[in-house]
Chain A
Amino acid sequence: MKRRSATAALGSLLAAAPALAQPMSYLQTFGPAAHPATVLGWGLGAISLFVMAIIAILVLAATFRPRPRVGPRQLAVTRDAGGTAWIYVGVGLTLATLIGCMVWTMVALAAVVHPPVAPKISIEVHGNQWWWGVRYRDDDPSRMFTTANEIHVPVGEPVRIEVSSSDVIHSFWVPQLAGKTDVIPGQTNVTWLQADRPGTYRGQCGEFCGAQHAGMGIYVIADAPAQFATWRNAQVEPAPPPASTAARQGYGVFVARCGACHTIRGTNAGGLIGPDLTHLMSRHTIAAGLLPNNPGNLAGWIANAQALKPGSRMPSIPLSGPELGAVVAYLTTLH
């Protein structure tokens, strides 16, 4: 348990950059959708450790307390009696603790089920084998847009999240902001989260979903409200037309070879099978959190997706060197 307190201390040290040391740890959480459960977790964890310690001590004491040794064929008692007080007292104390814990659990449950104020931002998260589609809703349909594997939220505001799946069951989970919500085909589950500090929060699929269940990450990036608004306005825009020769060439290759699966808004690439790449370069990672997003990794991913993420729906695309370079040149213009 030294480790836990060390973890907690480390957690508070890194409070400003929560996602750095243990980005998936929910020993410390950063929003009201998670916080009551975190406190409950520490409380029940402490009670559990205490119970373990007490039982360990009792077993050792019961075993080693000084008594005369028994001889062969000798019994410790002559009547089948005694000892029942242990059961009464033990169960009594257990019951009292348990009732307290139940009440606490219900209180915590009530606290995290609904956000304190009605969320103004509503996001659809769509689970796919093995990446996350993200769609921002808006009253004005022209301001709705789709992105992937990365959610931006304004700090300090609750965000409503509707999760759905078109293939198998996944579970939407960003531990430092909220617990899991299963993503089940045929139904839409609703959850919410709120980040109280700016930063990047890592999430990962929480329900086994096939070959790349391990490779299905998601990031939530909490920005100051103004920064968030800027990002959102940028995301609404279609992609800029390719400017350079290389980019134009890459655009041609992309539409021919990639457009059946990927959409880039404002172009002829309109596939719905893979992630929307309209503002690819605004994202920190590619392949659902697998690799940092840079030209080298993009090229490696396109050429060799099956080696990097075996079983992924993204095929390794056999492109010539110049074609690959051109596609990457084009993709890097998608800010």
Chain B
Amino acid sequence: MASTGAFRVPIIARETDSSPIADRLDRTWRTPAGIFGWLVSVDHKSIGKRYLVTAFLFLIMGGIEAAVMRAQLIRPNQTLLSPEAYNQLFTMHGVTMIFLYAMPVLSGFSNYIWPLMLGSRDMAFPRLNAFSYWTFLFAGCFLYASFVVGRAPDAGWFNYVPYASREYDPGINIDDYALGMILLGVSGTVGAINFIVTLFRTRAPGMSINRVPMMVWGTLTASVGNLFAIPAVSLAFFLLWLDRQFGAHFYDVTGGGQPLLWQHLFWMFGHPWVYAIVLPAMGIVSDALPVFCRRPLVGYTAVALATITTMILGFGVWVHHMFATGLPPLSLSFFSAASMVIVIPSAVAVFAWIATIWTGRPVFTTAFLFFAGFIFVFVVGGVSGFMTAAVPLDWQLTDTYFVVAHIHYVLIGINVFPVVGGIYYWFPKMTGKLLNETLGRWNFWLMFAGFNIGFFPMHIAGLLGMPRRIYTYPDGLGWNTVNLITSLGAYLFAIGVLLFVINVFRSAKFGRVAGPNPWDAPYLEWSTPSPPPAYNFAVIPTIGSRYPLWEDRLEHGPTDSYVDQGYLLNRGRETVGTTALDAEPDVVLEMPGDTIAPLILAIALVALICAALFHAWWGVGVAAAVTFIAAVAWLWPEARLGQTKEIARG
């Protein structure tokens, strides 16, 4: 091994997972078993699985809340829930699904899959990755803690002031929401930074930017979006907390404040966020659907550009949540047109998917059913969104069940369906076992039928004038039948989800052994054993085309991919750093090992907001000091981690 000063030319070797070198790599990368190992692990696969499991637990919590609400609304004038209980439930349902399920579940996939897809041994910042998970978990628990004391947030996930101000909503519930969201913002921000750097720095040599899988495009775009969007909401909640606790007047009319300031800040975040929780899911479909159509995705470049375009446009449409607030018609027309234009990049993706099925030869797996069914619900959610973009029509539609239908077609249709399909697709990689296909069919059809039976009539309820967020409704308004159908459909959908959970548990135990590549998929993660070893790749692969594992059957450029031949980086935890666009080998990245620091920092932060919630200022001081010390300890320079060794070119 030539090693002179700052330069090092790593050995290029041909190794597999059964080579003796694999044992050494395994010892280097494996997290020790046991509770302590679990607390200190920075392994992206383990963190990814935790994200997925935690997000699904929150999904089930949110689902139970929804089921109770649907029982209340199944008939007019029900008194199962008090108004206050209903308001807490619908608020926590929204908070849970939007913040604690939809984004974290996608982070789970990306965390697990990215390094495997990109040919790396971990995320760019493994400790930050662990930190991002712990803060998400603690923020989620913090938000739910208020439920336990019977005072959960009750002003809606959108939390409009002045209703959310102390005057109209006293108590710790809104403060809990505000502080929890600020903590969750920390998690989202560091997660986004990690994804962005991981993409631009740790792709396998040869995986130029136009060769990354579409899911990577989706998550990258969402992450950049989050970086710009999250500060708006963190600020909004921080100002709200100042208003509530210290009598600031940011939103308080009597002090010269502006209630609409909240709405602007919230939706400047909120709308990009909606795209951030669907684009990675659309990316899952763009990657996995073609596998089951036995051909590459039609229009890779167009779909990638459409993904980015959607996000950019997503930053210019927030006012379409505020059409009825009395803004001048001229500005409304601008935001109306901007919102409609989003149809175009969405159409690019839809026609690319249809063309992929049309020109491919579909294999009817459960995953395929979820992805194909997704296309239909995507379009339903899209056209209802297009209708609400028309200002004069939106003045009727807004805040009715039509919008409830729309948001559920978007969030269940464009997030849950791809996610469940994605689990069917990647479960074998994560566990080594295939999910049961017979149960899978039942699972799909119950979810698909239940979803459409339950949620399509909500459009009609909206057109019949049923407002959102009402805890009950009188008889005689023509809303009884649609609500009955919606409740029954929602329960059918819940049974479908239950079947999915059963399938996961059953197959994890008794499932058929998958082997490394059960679907004959073309991407790098399928070149590893199932489940992948701790070190991911014995040698860093070299990539020559977009579909490395199909190269034997698919015409491609002049270069070939090598998955079992490449840099052997075995002096401690190492992976290769490559250049941002062309993915030329650049440096050897020394990766940090398992550490308790991220957990301690996350505990210190949650202690800080707990103390702030109860005005225990000494506690805030102590927690801030611990936060500082933990951050310093974490960031203390280690010679071992210096990124000085560049790979000599040539």
What is the interface of chain A, defined by CB distance below 8 A to chain B?
3-4, 7, 21-27, 34, 36-38, 40-41, 44-45, 47-48, 51-52, 55-56, 58-59, 61-63, 65, 67-70, 72-80, 82-87, 89-91, 94-95, 98, 101-102, 104-106, 108-113, 129, 167-169, 171, 173, 175, 178-182, 184-187, 189-190, 202, 204-214, 290, 310-311
Whether A26 lies near B302 (C-beta < 8 A) is: no
Interface: B471 (CB within 8 A) = yes
Hey, which chain B residues are within 8 Å of A22, CB to CB? 464-465, 477-478
Whether A24 lies near B477 (C-beta < 8 A) is: yes
Hey, which chain A residues are within 8 Å of B391, CB to CB? 105, 109
Whether B296 lies near A80 (C-beta < 8 A) is: yes
Whether B259 lies near A171 (C-beta < 8 A) is: no
Distance in Å: Cβ of B434 to nearest Cβ of chain A: 15
Interface: B592 (CB within 8 A) = no
B340, B347, B393, B553: the one within 8 Å of A90 (CB):
B347
Hey, which chain A residues are within 8 Å of B299, CB to CB? 83-84, 87
- 19 CB contacts below 8 A, A to B, read A7-B463, A37-B393, A37-B396, A38-B396, A41-B393, A51-B379, A59-B357, A59-B375, A83-B356, A87-B298, A87-B351, A105-B391, A108-B392, A179-B396, A206-B324, A208-B399, A211-B84, A212-B83, A214-B470
Interface: B575 (CB within 8 A) = no
Interface: B355 (CB within 8 A) = yes
A91-B348 contact in complex given A62-B354, A206-B324, A210-B163, C-beta closer than 8 Å: yes
Whether B547 lies near A80 (C-beta < 8 A) is: yes
Hey, which chain A residues are within 8 Å of B361, CB to CB? 67-70, 76
Distance in Å: Cβ of A76 to nearest Cβ of chain B: 4
Interface: B332 (CB within 8 A) = yes
4 closest pairs, A vs B, by CB? Answer: A179-B395, A24-B465, A90-B351, A186-B253
A44, A56, A75, A180: the one within 8 Å of B553 (CB):
A75
Interface residues of B in 631-647 (CB under 8 A from A): none
A37 to B362, CA, bound (A): 43
User: Smallest CB-CB separation from A20: which chain B residue?
Assistant: B476
A24, A89, A185, A214: the one within 8 Å of B83 (CB):
A214
B168, B336, B396: the one within 8 Å of A167 (CB):
B168
A109 to B470, CA, bound (A): 28
User: Smallest CB-CB separation from B368: which chain A residue?
Assistant: A63
Whether A214 lies near B357 (C-beta < 8 A) is: no
A48-B384 contact in complex given A169-B259, A213-B470, C-beta closer than 8 Å: yes
User: Smallest CB-CB separation from A110: which chain B residue?
Assistant: B329
A208-B298 contact in complex given A87-B351, A182-B324, A186-B253, C-beta closer than 8 Å: no
A90 to B356, CA, bound (A): 14
Interface: B12 (CB within 8 A) = no
Distance in Å: Cβ of B271 to nearest Cβ of chain A: 18
A109 to B82, CA, bound (A): 39
Whether B547 lies near A44 (C-beta < 8 A) is: no
Distance in Å: Cβ of A132 to nearest Cβ of chain B: 15
Hey, which chain B residues are within 8 Å of A61, CB to CB? 358
Hey, which chain B residues are within 8 Å of A178, CB to CB? 395
Whether B460 lies near A211 (C-beta < 8 A) is: no
Hey, which chain A residues are within 8 Å of B168, CB to CB? 129, 167-168, 210
Hey, which chain A residues are within 8 Å of B363, CB to CB? 70
Interface residues on B, range: 35 or more
Whether B383 lies near A179 (C-beta < 8 A) is: no
Q: Which of A4, A36, A102, A167 has the most CB of B within 10 A?
A: A102
A40, A86, A213: the one within 8 Å of B354 (CB):
A86
Whether B83 lies near A83 (C-beta < 8 A) is: no
Interface: B570 (CB within 8 A) = no
A180-B399 contact in complex given A25-B464, A214-B473, C-beta closer than 8 Å: yes
B302, B372, B468: the one within 8 Å of A59 (CB):
B372
Q: How many A-B residue pairs have CB under 8 A?
A: 291
Hey, which chain B residues are within 8 Å of A102, CB to CB? 336-337, 340
A67 to B474, CA, bound (A): 54
Whether B390 lies near A205 (C-beta < 8 A) is: no
Give 9 A-B pairs besides A75-B294, A84-B298, A129-B168 with Cβ atoms closer than 8 angstroms.
A41-B393, A61-B358, A70-B294, A80-B556, A84-B299, A90-B351, A105-B340, A207-B399, A310-B84
B295, B302, B329, B355: the one within 8 Å of A76 (CB):
B295
Whether B294 lies near A76 (C-beta < 8 A) is: yes
Interface: B611 (CB within 8 A) = no
Hey, which chain B residues are within 8 Å of A21, CB to CB? 478
A189-B546 contact in complex given A65-B358, A83-B298, A206-B467, C-beta closer than 8 Å: no
A27-B357 contact in complex given A98-B340, A179-B396, C-beta closer than 8 Å: no
Distance in Å: Cβ of A297 to nearest Cβ of chain B: 14
Whether B390 lies near A101 (C-beta < 8 A) is: yes
Whether A55 lies near B354 (C-beta < 8 A) is: yes
Distance in Å: Cβ of B167 to nearest Cβ of chain A: 8
Whether A168 lies near B298 (C-beta < 8 A) is: no
User: Smallest CB-CB separation from A307: which chain B residue?
Assistant: B79
Interface residues of B in 377-430 (CB under 8 A from A): 379-380, 383-384, 386-387, 389-400
Hey, which chain A residues are within 8 Å of B183, CB to CB? none
Interface: B30 (CB within 8 A) = no
Interface residues of B in 333-350 (CB under 8 A from A): 333, 336-337, 340-341, 343-344, 347-348, 350
Whether B357 lies near A62 (C-beta < 8 A) is: yes
Whether B390 lies near A213 (C-beta < 8 A) is: no
Whether A208 lies near B340 (C-beta < 8 A) is: no
A34, A55, A67: the one within 8 Å of B375 (CB):
A55
A4 to B464, CA, bound (A): 10
A80-B555 contact in complex given A67-B361, A91-B347, A206-B324, C-beta closer than 8 Å: yes
A206-B399 contact in complex given A62-B357, A77-B295, C-beta closer than 8 Å: yes
A184-B259 contact in complex given A76-B360, A94-B347, C-beta closer than 8 Å: yes
A177 to B618, CA, bound (A): 58
Whether A175 lies near B326 (C-beta < 8 A) is: no
Hey, which chain A residues are within 8 Å of B155, CB to CB? 208
Distance in Å: Cβ of B309 to nearest Cβ of chain A: 12
Q: Mark B151-172, 1 if CB is under 8 A from A, else 0.
A: 0000110001011000011000
A111 to B465, CA, bound (A): 22
Hey, which chain B residues are within 8 Å of A104, CB to CB? 390
B340, B341, B355, B397: the one within 8 Å of A84 (CB):
B355
Hey, which chain A residues are within 8 Å of B392, CB to CB? 36-37, 40, 105, 108-109, 111-112, 179
A34 to B336, CA, bound (A): 18
Whether B344 lies near A95 (C-beta < 8 A) is: yes
Interface: B528 (CB within 8 A) = no
A69, A82, A168, A202: the one within 8 Å of B162 (CB):
A168
Whether A24 lies near B554 (C-beta < 8 A) is: no
Interface: B4 (CB within 8 A) = no
Interface: B293 (CB within 8 A) = yes
A180-B294 contact in complex given A24-B477, A109-B329, C-beta closer than 8 Å: no
Hey, which chain B residues are within 8 Å of A205, CB to CB? 467
Whether A58 lies near B354 (C-beta < 8 A) is: yes
Interface: B466 (CB within 8 A) = yes
B302, B343, B375, B479: the one within 8 Å of A98 (CB):
B343
Hey, which chain B residues are within 8 Å of A171, CB to CB? 324, 399
Q: Which of B359, B394, B477 has the most CB of A within 10 A?
A: B359
Whether A24 lies near B329 (C-beta < 8 A) is: no
Whether A86 lies near B352 (C-beta < 8 A) is: yes
User: Smallest CB-CB separation from B336: which chain A residue?
Assistant: A105
Whether A185 lies near B399 (C-beta < 8 A) is: no
Hey, which chain B residues are within 8 Å of A214, CB to CB? 83, 467, 470-473
Distance in Å: Cβ of A291 to nearest Cβ of chain B: 10
Interface: B520 (CB within 8 A) = yes
A74 to B552, CA, bound (A): 11
User: Smallest CB-CB separation from B79: which chain A residue?
Assistant: A310
Whether A175 lies near B294 (C-beta < 8 A) is: no
User: Smallest CB-CB separation from B347: which chain A residue?
Assistant: A94
A24 to B480, CA, bound (A): 13
Distance in Å: Cβ of A21 to nearest Cβ of chain B: 6
Interface: B376 (CB within 8 A) = yes
Hey, which chain B residues are within 8 Å of A26, CB to CB? 396, 463, 465
